[in-house]
Structure 1
């Protein structure tokens, strides 16, 4: 079975964020780093070259595919901030409408800049998403 492309690395999260070219993405990335540390109680780890992750869990699909993934995380991309793992909790249904200006895809939230969203709602989403993944999706 093929190995996941996105694996944890030993790259420094702080060095990665310091090298983000876009000044707003760099600033927002540093703020998200602190927010997610507090919301999860975990230290950040780079997953692949561009994802800052917090916590990890083992998943197993009915197809037999399994692997490790970050519980929650973010990536300061050129076009926007991508936040992972915050849409699946039971609380997300009530919290997302209160977040502010964002877009979603299947499992990601796209934010242009943190000033577009309510930071306290985002922190609640991160905490709820982390708890959801670690308690309900975690497979020993």
Structure 2
């Protein structure tokens, strides 16, 4: 089975500008800038609500397809960061320095971007990008 979420031609800036909550909208633009700077890539919309950078061939036990290397979604409950956290491997000690956050299987959740150390976040994004490019 293939992953249903695919890259689209939707405009990333228009998506971020349409985020209803002003703080979350601002955080989305800030994370976009951070990820563009780290990756050197242009953002791409994946499905209707995720912004991704780069891509790789994904092969799991139940699904396969293409997926972005790092990305984010400015969701109502939390700013969700993809690609920097993996619940299946050892936890990077940098997460202890990050600030207030929670994690899921493959996601980092930030209630407030201003509650985390953005230098640490940038380092986590850079590590994930470099790891994927090896």
TM-score, normalised with respect to structure 2:
0.92
Which residue number in structure 2 is paired with residue 66 of structure 1?
A: 64
Give the Cα separation in 2 of the matches to 1:99 and 1:92.
12
2:22 and 2:15 map into 1 onto residues whose CA distance is 13
**Match of residue 82, structure 2, among 63, 80, 84:** 84
Deviation at 1:91, TM superposition (A): 9.5
Please state if 1:41 is matched with 2:40.
Answer: yes
1:94 aligned residue: 93
SS at match of 2:41: coil
How many residues end up aligned between the 2 structures? Answer: 132
Partner SS for 1:3: coil
8 Å contact 1:86–1:125 — kept in the other structure? yes
CA RMSD of aligned residues (A): 1.7
Cα distance, 1:92 vs. partner? 5.8
- Is the contact between residue 91 and residue 125 of structure 1 (CA under 8 Å) also seen in structure 2? no
Offset of 1:41 from its aligned partner?
Answer: 1.2
- Counterpart residue number, 1:132: 131
Determine the structure 1 residue equivalent to 2:23: 24
For 1:41-66, what per-residue CA distance to the aligned partner results, in whole angstroms no more than 9, with x for missing partners? Answer: 111000000000000000223x4742
| Uncovered stretches (5+) of structure 1, i.e. residues with no partner | 136-140
Cα drift, residue 134 of structure 1: 2.7
The answer as to whether partners of 2:84 and 2:128 remain within 8 angstroms in 1 is yes
